[in-house]
């Protein structure tokens, strides 16, 4: 975007603006944004009631993209100070930076700013590593899990590395890869260059891992020559450490992805991917083979996608790992989903539904004598948790419940659960043919995948059984339309489906550090609201503290959309009306609260942030005012 793009901008009154940040100045010097665009952004910035970084505002105005910022930072990464970088990216408050700088001035000898920020809990080390790795492009290395070049290490005594906060890793293409606690610290860089010359490649590593690596080296030196079986850094140890670290962080998935220059490992925590560590690309085949052996996949096959399953024992509990192997241009990418068999089943009243919505779901769907109850949403939206909670609620000695699942994720006493195993020809098709012969009162189909499973659910409901299942659709109305697209007759859908629940998971704000948030005009405009529509709201935004690992969020929260079928909705399905028309009829006649509206009500109660609502929930229709949503949900 060039300077002419500001011609259509509205005229804003000029106000005294604060000095530009270092990143914004760098973007101007690099020609990424113009001075005119920055001036306009400053004037908008001066009108905001809630403070936000100028850099973020430039991105929201469309003057610069995240990739352009990243590219500019990587081209000038040595020239950007760590404190300014964290403030401008929104990870650190200016007041906290000022406090850290005061502590630094008083310290003798003078200490690194990064050390002070971590020691006084102004920021979490994971956040700092994420910024240095993702934004500035420093490779993330764990010296305890890679093969170190002992000849490089021998060039200086171990206390020298500990004092300056770095450790040499290996030589790559004539350059020395060096892991730093702070790769932007001038004294550390100078100390490394004195040893290995100017031709070094800085990487980033946690202080603890560098210290652990130095202790391991010292132990080996004191113990003399070590045997191969005594090496702590075997492939088996690396894979186990990755799984243990992911489980310790409460991750749901592990991504092991080969890049052009490294093996990147990330974990999904509270629905968001965060970097764990980088490994050398040379050990990628060994890592892949080890995980394939654990998952029962073919280690000789490297050209085709594969699946597998691992039962991993940790601290007396079993973690079920669902393995997916995907062939990419750089090699095999491995994704493992972690399902611990000791997970506690949520009580029905604790799944997170608003009081009135929960009451309707229980009375008109879960406890109804027959029909189909569908729980829909994308992968990882909590469908299975809601499904099991509903099953556990109706699990009584006088009720026969039979399931067909892939796999069984929760074990419920008194429920006959079957885990699909295609290798034994125990397929969904075979299981569903036999399930109705088990004299069940309630049938649970883990997922409606195709026309056959949909027809089986319909036929079971027509013969008087209660059927629960999950579905992958955008919202509750989409669940009905998807059945029609599977060539199920409209009269069968309207006569058997009693309820559809759509759901998502959003991150829950950390109660220890969340701060009040004043909704700004941009957010009001996005919702189609006036200030009167948010009267009585208590919006909050994330800040970050030690309890939440400085992410600002801790745990996740369910957001729901409940459609209970009535005659107007059934008639709309029979006449095959559009999704928009069915949604309007449902809203008017059944009191349907959309996903966005339920999320907005939870954000107004301070449980999650507006950013989470905007990023995760579909805006299909203009939400109703908050006072109306409180009446409908009973919140």
Q: Is residue 132 assigned to a domain?
A: no
Q: In whole angstroms, how large is the CA radius of gyration of the chain?
A: 28
Task: Return the sign of the alpha-carbon dihedral for residues 453, 252, 562, 417.
Answer: positive
Domain at 148, CATH number? 3.30.300.160
Least Cα distance to 100 among 117, 124, 85, 115 occurs for 117
Using the 3D structure, point to which of 308, 342, 376 is the last residue of a domain: 342
Cα dihedral across residues 125, 127, 129, 131: positive or negative: negative
Query: Which whole number is the average pLDDT over 15-26?
Result: 67
Expressed in percent and rounded to 5, the helix, strand and coil fractions of the chain are 45, 20, 35
| 185 class by beta-carbon count within 10 Å (0-12 exposed, 13-18 middle, 19+ buried) | buried
More confident: 340 or 296 = 296
Query: Do 272 and 209 share a domain, yes or no?
Result: no
Residue 404 is assigned to a structural domain of this protein: yes
**Residue 319 counted as domain residue:** yes
445 and 396 housed in the same domain = yes
The pLDDT-based confidence of 233 (bands split at 50, 70, 90) is low
**Residue 266: strand, helix, or coil:** strand
Both structure tokens of 429: 């098709």
Does residue 146 sit in the same domain as residue 103?
no
Q: Is the pLDDT of residue 228 over 60?
A: no
Per-residue pLDDT of 127-138, as tens digits, reads 777 777 766 778
Mean local confidence (pLDDT), 110-132: 77
| C-alpha span between 112 and 556 (Å, rounded) | 35
> Residue 182's pLDDT is what?
83
| Mean pLDDT of the 430-457 span | 87
Q: Are residues 44 and 155 in the same domain?
A: no
Q: Are residues 419 and 529 in the same domain?
A: yes
CATH code, domain with 269 = 3.30.450.90
pTM over 0.95: no
The pLDDT value given to residue 398:
92
Quick one: 150 and 190 in the same domain? yes
Domain that holds residue 300: 235-342
For 181-204, what is the mean pLDDT? 88
Q: Which two tokens stand for residue 177?
A: 């890869």
The 3-state secondary structure of 226-252, one letter per residue: CCHHHCCCCHHHHHHHHHHHHHHCCCC
Characterise 373 by phi-psi region: left (phi > 0), alpha (psi -120 to 50), beta (else). Answer: beta
* Domain count across the chain: 4
Backbone angles phi, psi at 398, to 5 degrees: -95, 10
Residue 357 lies in a domain: yes
Average pLDDT of span 471-490: 90
pLDDT score recorded for residue 7: 38
Q: What single-letter DSSP state applies at residue 424?
A: G
Asked if residue 501 has pLDDT above 90, the reply is yes
pLDDT digits (tens, 9 = 90+) for 367-396: 998 999 999 998 888 898 899 999 999 999
Q: Is residue 377 part of a domain?
A: yes
User: In terms of domains, do 225 and 282 share one?
Assistant: no
Residues 461 and 555 both lie in one domain:
yes
Final residue in a domain of this structure, among 217, 233, 249: 233
- For 310-332, b/e burial (b = at least 16 CB within 10 A) is bebeeeeeebbbbbbbeeeeebb
pLDDT digits (tens, 9 = 90+) for 575-614: 999 888 999 999 999 889 999 999 999 999 999 999 999 9
557 and 430, same structural domain? yes
Q: Which of 87, 119, 151 is the last residue of a domain?
A: 119
Q: Cα 468 from chain centroid?
A: 27
C-alpha–C-alpha distance, residues 334 and 349, integer Å:
37
The residue count of the chain comes to 635
d(CA 76, CA 28) in angstroms, rounded, equals 13
Q: Are strands 371-376 and 466-471 parallel, antiparallel or unpaired?
A: parallel
Is 127 inside a domain boundary?
Answer: no
Do 39 and 100 touch, CB atoms closer than 8 A? Answer: no
Span 505-534, mean pLDDT? 90
In angstroms, the CA 434 to CA 124 distance is: 53
Does 9 score more than 90 pLDDT?
no
In this predicted structure, the answer to whether residue 561 has a pLDDT above a threshold of 90 is yes
For residue 91, the 8-state DSSP code is S
Q: Are residues 91 and 168 in the same domain?
A: no
pLDDT at 18 over 60: no
Asked if residue 130 is part of any domain, the answer here is: no
331 plus 355 within the same structural domain: no
Distance CA 33, CA 58 (A): 9
Mean pLDDT, rounded, of the chain: 84
In a domain, 124, yes or no: no
Predicted confidence at residue 582, as pLDDT, reads 92
Same domain (yes/no): 561, 428: yes
User: Exposure of 509 by Cβ count < 10 A (0-12 exposed, 13-18 middle, 19+ buried)?
Assistant: buried
Structure confidence by residue, pLDDT tens digits, 29-62:
888 899 899 888 888 878 776 567 888 888 888 8
CA dist., res. 31 & res. 560, Å (int): 46
> pLDDT band for position 452 (50/70/90)?
confident
3-class secondary structure, 443: strand
């Amino acid at each position: 975007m060039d300077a002419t793009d500001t011609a259509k901008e509205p005229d804003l009154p000029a106000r005294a603006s604060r000095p530009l940040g270092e990143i914004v100045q760098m973007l101007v010097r690099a020609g990424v944004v113009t001075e005119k665009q920055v001036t306009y952004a400053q004037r908008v910035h001066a009108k905001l009631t809630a403070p936000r970084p100028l850099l973020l505002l430039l991105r929201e105005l469309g003057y610069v993209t995240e990739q352009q910022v990243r590219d500019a930072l990587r081209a000038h990464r040595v020239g950007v100070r760590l404190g300014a970088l964290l403030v401008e990216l929104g990870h650190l408050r200016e007041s906290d930076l000022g406090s850290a700088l005061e502590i630094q001035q008083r310290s003798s000898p003078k200490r690194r700013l990064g050390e002070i920020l971590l020691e006084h809990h102004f920021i979490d080390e994971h956040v700092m590593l994420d910024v240095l790795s993702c934004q500035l492009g420093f490779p993330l290395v764990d010296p305890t899990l890679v093969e170190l070049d002992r000849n490089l290490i021998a060039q200086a005594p171990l206390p020298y590395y500990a004092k300056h906060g770095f450790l040499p890793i290996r030589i790559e293409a004539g350059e020395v890869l060096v892991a730093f606690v702070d790769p932007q610290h001038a004294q550390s860089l100078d100390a490394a260059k004195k040893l290995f010359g100017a031709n070094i490649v800085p990487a980033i590593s946690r202080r603890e891992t560098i210290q652990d690596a130095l202790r391991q080296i010292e132990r080996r030196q004191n113990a003399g020559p070590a045997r191969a079986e005594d090496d702590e850094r075997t492939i088996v140890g690396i894979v186990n450490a990755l799984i243990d670290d992911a489980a310790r962080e409460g991750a749901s998935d592990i991504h092991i992805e080969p890049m052009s220059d490294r093996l990147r490992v990330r974990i999904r925590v509270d629905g968001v991917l965060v970097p764990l560590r980088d490994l050398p690309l040379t050990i990628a085949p060994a890592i892949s083979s080890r995980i394939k052996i654990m998952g029962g996949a073919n280690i000789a096959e490297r050209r085709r996608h594969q699946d597998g399953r691992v039962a991993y024992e940790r601290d007396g509990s079993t973690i079920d790992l669902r393995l997916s192997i995907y062939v990419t241009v750089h090699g095999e990418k491995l994704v493992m989903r972690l399902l611990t068999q000791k997970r506690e089943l949520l009580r029905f009243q604790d799944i997170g539904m608003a009081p009135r919505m929960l009451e309707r779901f229980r009375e008109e769907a879960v406890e109804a004598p027959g029909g189909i109850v569908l729980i829909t949403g994308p992968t990882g939206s909590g469908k299975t948790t809601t499904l099991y909670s509903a099953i556990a609620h109706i699990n009584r000695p006088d009720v026969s419940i039979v399931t067909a699942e892939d796999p069984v994720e929760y074990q419920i006493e008194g429920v006959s659960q079957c885990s699909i195993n295609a290798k034994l020809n125990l397929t969904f098709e075979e299981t569903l043919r036999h399930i109705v012969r088990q004299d069940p009162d309630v049938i649970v189909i883990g997922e409606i995948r195709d026309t056959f499973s949909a027809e089986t659910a319909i036929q079971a409901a027509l013969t008087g059984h209660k059927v629960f299942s999950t579905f992958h659709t955008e919202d509750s109305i989409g669940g009905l339309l998807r059945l029609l697209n599977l060539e199920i007759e409209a009269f069968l859908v309207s006569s058997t489906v009693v309820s559809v629940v759509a759901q998502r998971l959003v991150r829950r704000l950390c109660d220890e550090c969340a701060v009040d948030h004043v909704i700004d005009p941009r957010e009001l405009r996005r919702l189609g609201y006036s200030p009167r529509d948010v009267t009585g709201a208590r919006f909050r935004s994330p800040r970050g503290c030690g309890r939440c690992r400085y992410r600002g969020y801790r745990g996740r929260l369910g957001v729901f959309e409940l459609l209970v079928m009535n005659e107007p909705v059934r008639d709309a399905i029979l006449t095959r009306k559009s999704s928009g028309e069915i949604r309007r009829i449902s809203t008017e006649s059944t009191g349907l609260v959309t996903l966005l509206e339920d999320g907005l009500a939870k954000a107004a109660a301070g449980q999650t942030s507006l950013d989470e609502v905007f990023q995760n929930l579909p805006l299909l229709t203009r939400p109703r005012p908050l006072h109306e949503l409180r009446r409908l949900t009973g919140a």
